[in-house]
Amino acid sequence: MNKNILKYGIILALVPIIFAGCGENKELSPSDANSAKGEAVSEVTEAFTDIRVSAASGTITLSEGEEFSLSYHLSEKEIVKEAYVKDGTLIFSTGADRRFKPDFGDFYVDITIPEGHSLSEIDLSSVAGDVVLKVSDFEDAELFTVSGSIKAENTSGKKLEAETTSGNIEFTNVKSVEAEAQTVSGKITSEGNFGKFEGETISGSIASKGEITNEAKLETVSGNISFNGNVSSVEAVTAGKITYMGNTQGKKLNISQGEPYLYAKSISGAIAIN
């Protein structure tokens, strides 16, 4: 994963307000979304299957409701760059003057879809705010924030990526064929069923309470690691304690036959098999 944070610096550039003028785009009213700067705005949109949303500040939440909708409350210093649905994709982004410092006030961007509606690609990114995913079904989801936590709950998809610089990552009742969680200063907690799971943090713990059926790679510099699941390959590296709760018969199997085995490594700490 390892996205370059500078990639998202563009949302802090001073740009004009953009509302689609071509026939393929579905504009979100009011036409001047910045006429009520600092005030809450709520709009019903046409249907979409893909989402690309980015904001300089505020919590971004994608959840299920009764209809397709977009609601937001931004800082007075933050402007809407894009707000429309095009070719089945909801596109929303904000920007501000280069001197603008992301505000940690009570700001938000909320997106809802009808209950049970399946999404294809999801891309949610914030500079200063949490990112929350609460939809039942998706194909691929990328969740990113510079300063904030990331939560995914009661959801199922093929690939889930979560990355934050300063904040925790929490997966609750998540089913995913492949999942990645990366944070610099925060803990990673997962509960669900994963085929392949990768978790990496510098200063924080990693705890997986669900099942990892195929492959797990867990790494932290200063934190404990705990996980379970009948996995075929596990690599766990930390300066702290590693605890595995699962099929301990892996030590007796011939791994050349593709049977489950466990590989656990500690820099300076104990390894416990329960």
Number of domains in the chain: 2
Same domain, 127 and 172: no
Same domain, 119 and 14: yes
The enclosing H or E element of 94 equals: strand 89-95
Same domain, 66 and 26: yes
Same domain, 74 and 100: yes
Residue 236 Cα distances to 171, 190, 214, 255, angstroms: 19, 15, 14, 18
Domain boundary among 148, 163, 189: 148
Domain boundary among 104, 121, 148: 148
Task: Determine the Cα–Cα distance for residues 188 and 1; give it in Å rounded to an integer.
Answer: 16
Same domain, 231 and 184: yes
Same domain, 14 and 104: yes
Domain boundary among 123, 148, 173: 148
Q: Residue 29 is part of which domain span?
A: 1-148
**What confidence score (pLDDT) does residue 25 get?**
47
**What confidence score (pLDDT) does residue 116 get?**
92
Task: Determine the Cα–Cα distance for residues 139 and 121; give it in Å rounded to an integer.
Answer: 6
Same domain, 95 and 132: yes
Same domain, 197 and 98: no
Centre a 10 Å sphere on the Cβ of residue 179 and count the other Cβ atoms it contains.
Answer: 27
At 141, list the tokens.
């989801």
**What confidence score (pLDDT) does residue 101 get?**
67
Same domain, 120 and 194: no
Same domain, 169 and 231: yes
Q: How do the pLDDT tens digits run along the chain, 274 residues long?
A: 554 443 444 333 323 333 333 334 445 543 445 545 678 899 999 999 999 999 988 999 999 999 999 999 998 888 899 999 999 999 999 987 666 666 667 899 999 999 999 999 999 999 989 999 999 999 999 999 999 999 999 999 999 999 999 999 999 999 999 999 999 999 999 999 999 999 999 989 999 888 888 888 888 888 888 887 667 777 888 888 888 776 544 432 222 223 344 555 555 555 555 5
Same domain, 10 and 142: yes
Q: Which of 170, 159, 45 shows the shortest CA–CA distance to 111?
A: 45
Q: What is the DSSP string of 150-213?
A: EEEEEEEEEEEEEEEEES-EEEEEEEEEEEEEEEEES-EEEEEEEEEEEEEESSS-EEE-SEEE
